[in-house]
Amino acid sequence: MTSDALDGLDEHQLEAARALRGPVCVLAGAGTGKTRVITRRIAHGVDTGAYSPQRVMAVTFTAKAAGEMRGRLRALGVSGVSARTFHAAALAQVNYFWPTLAADQAPSIIDNKVRMLAHAADGIGLAPDTATLRDVAAQIEWRKVTMRSIEQYAAARPDGVGRLRVEQVVDLQRAYEKLKDERRQMDFEDVLLTCAGMIEAEPRVAAAVHEQYRHFTVDEFQDVSPLQNRLLELWLGDRRDLCVVGDASQTIYSFTGADARYLLEFDRTYDDARVVRLERNYRSTGAVLAVANDLMRGRAGALELVAARDGDASVPAARDGDDPLPAVRAYDDDEAEAAGIAAEVAGIIAAGADPDSIAILYRSHAQSAVVLNALASRGIAATVLGGRKFFDMPEVRQALMALRAASVAPVETGFLATVRDVLRGVGLTDDPPQAGGALRDGWEARAALLRLAEEAAPGTDLRSFTDDLQARARDQHEPATRTVTLSTLHAAKGLEWDHVFLIGVSEGLLPISYATTFEAVDEERRLAYVGVTRAARSLTVSWARGRGRADREPSRFLREIGTGSLRSADGLPRHAGASRRAGAASGTGRPVVR
């Protein structure tokens, strides 16, 4: 039986989308269309009558990803599917069942774990600084998602936190739990624990959950923690209608308790599981994929990505062969690296590329400041990913209120002209302000709203446009602003750009200095892989030597990849002095791969 939902899928995507009964494991490499497959599979199940939308739960890890999933399902004509994060799904169930079990409302969620830890510390005579309190909060989260008691935590992490001995950390955690109970509050990890406890201990809760949800899909399954996996098992009960989707090579949250073994061992947990591999990449050139494959070759669960070719179905991404080979560059110091990258970015924009097709990625957020300054000096606007959310910007809120007000008044001009007039009235000028600063950020946000109107379907009116904007705001489906993106590697996961600059690829930065075990270094390798696979057309990898005590060596990942899949640029001797610095600033520094 066929369905419109299956149109345009390649043979491997079709295999996954047609496997409507679990257990199913989809090993989906970067750029292989996993979200497309997930939503098409659900839509196909609804179209064929195999699924009732209200009985489907699709779980992912971020509210943004869940919102995108809901948006894609809406576009496929499917409504009623519960597409949520683990925490949102668990919280809804806790709030629903708690009153029937306890004859009272569920406890509230604490809004600041660090602040409550500070109050708990005061109560037992401790005075740790804010950084230590943040680290203790992370330890609490790790303890709970790995389902350890405080005593088990102390045995697993005996070194303490900062200047706090493990005994003091234990006392602080106990004080935190006591204070939380006294205030009748829960933290986010408690939500998962409480939901699991309710289903496990109360047969009527389990029966109601099992009646409500029959078909489960879990995206990013490589990132599930033991607690999330246990909750998933309880949601399933004795049924097996589960589809998991993930990529072990993109496991980058092990430090928070994520465990890729649940993905890697899925076919052992379910010996009748159907396993589908998606390795045809619709994003990147073959040269970029060669770097990615080199990085992960021989690692557990690594997929061999292959670039899509002309004539392949699904998202067109075949290239014409004119795209540049990935390059690696070396610079004297961080300032020279930033200046060199800014020069290359300016060249790409001058050649006709949109700024929003360019990203500069790094391991640590602290690396962004020098790059922002270098871009601003060239008049290039940039947005730091993870800053203010688009729909939380005051300029956007003001524009939405003005558009909503205009939508209830008689309209004498056309839809697009009205949107343009409204946005001009709240500050959208014909020419952008100087790059850098809040004024430029606000201008870019208003311009993004105008582009959404320009791209709206024929027949769209102002009311339906504002309704769509409100739905986007709820789903965190943010429009692209025409600025260069700066992002940490963690925040960049799931995104893509035509042109990617991966900076700071040196020992101590990538891998980070505190990655001292094989497992920790492998996590850093996966971070590098995530960065490489964000690139569609061009990839430039760079590192800076630094000066004096900050002298660095190129990352071991560069040495392992070698020169086979990275193009070398013209050379710089290791101790060349001031003339070398000028050459590096122009973007002509030589990569050192050894």
Look at the block and give the residue holding tokens 């430029």.
440
Asked whether the CA dihedral 95, 99, 101, 102 is positive or negative, the reply is positive
pLDDT of residue 323: 67
Residue segments in the chain with a per-residue pLDDT below the cut of 50? 1-2, 311, 313-320, 569-594
Strand partners, 245: 26
Query: What is the per-residue pLDDT across 16-57, written as a single tens digit (0 to 9) for each?
Result: 999 998 799 999 999 999 999 999 999 999 999 999 999 999
Torsion of CA 322, 323, 326, 332, to 10 degrees: 100
Structure tokens at 394: 């005051």
Task: Confirm if 481 and 395 have CB atoms less than 8 A apart.
Answer: no
Distance CA 305, CA 281 (A): 6
SS3 of 384-395: the string is: ECCCCCHHHCHH
The radius of gyration of the chain from alpha carbons, rounded to an integer in Å, stands at 26
Look at the block and give the residue holding tokens 């963690």.
490
Q: What is the secondary structure of 142-207 as a DSSP string?
A: HHHHTT--HHHHHHH-TT-BTTB-HHHHHHHHHHHHHHHHHTTEE-HHHHHHHHHHHHHH-HHHHH
Distance CA 140, CA 177 (A): 10
For 378, other C-beta atoms within 10 Å of its C-beta total: 13
Alpha helix segments (H runs only) across 247-356: 261-264, 266-269, 286-296, 334-350
Task: Confirm if 567 and 326 have CB atoms less than 8 A apart.
Answer: yes
Distance CA 489, CA 512 (A): 12
Residue type, 376: A
Distance CA 349, CA 347 (A): 5
Task: Confirm if 307 and 295 have CB atoms less than 8 A apart.
Answer: no
Distance CA 53, CA 458 (A): 29
Task: Residue count of the chain, please give it.
Answer: 594
Phi-psi region of 515 (alpha: psi -120 to 50; beta: other; left: phi over 0): beta
DSSP helix/strand/coil, 410: coil
Q: Cα angle at 512 between 494 and 523, to 5 degrees?
A: 50
pLDDT of residue 236: 94
Distance CA 10, CA 8 (A): 7
Structure tokens at 547: 């000066």
Distances (CA, A) of 587 to 2, 157, 282, 347: 53, 45, 30, 10
Distances (CA, A) of 290 to 65, 244, 418, 532, 533: 28, 27, 49, 10, 10
Kindly give, in sequence order, each residue whose CB lies less than 8 Å from that of residue 409, ignoring residues fewer than 6 positions away. none
Query: What is the per-residue pLDDT across 204-253, written as a single tens digit (0 to 9) for each?
Result: 999 999 999 999 999 999 999 999 999 999 999 988 999 999 999 999 99
88, burial (CB in 10 Å: exposed 0-12, middle 13-18, buried 19+): middle
Q: For residue 463, how far is the Cα from the chain centroid?
A: 32
Residue type, 492: A
Structure tokens at 385: 């990913």
pLDDT of residue 304: 93
DSSP helix/strand/coil, 562: coil
420-425's contacts with Cβ under 8 Å and 24+ in sequence apart are: 420/450, 420/453, 423/399, 423/449, 423/450
pLDDT of residue 592: 34
Distance CA 219, CA 89 (A): 14
Kindly give, in sequence order, each residue whose CB lies less than 8 Å from that of residue 561, ignoring residues fewer than 6 positions away. 291, 294, 295, 593
457, burial (CB in 10 Å: exposed 0-12, middle 13-18, buried 19+): exposed
DSSP helix/strand/coil, 287: helix
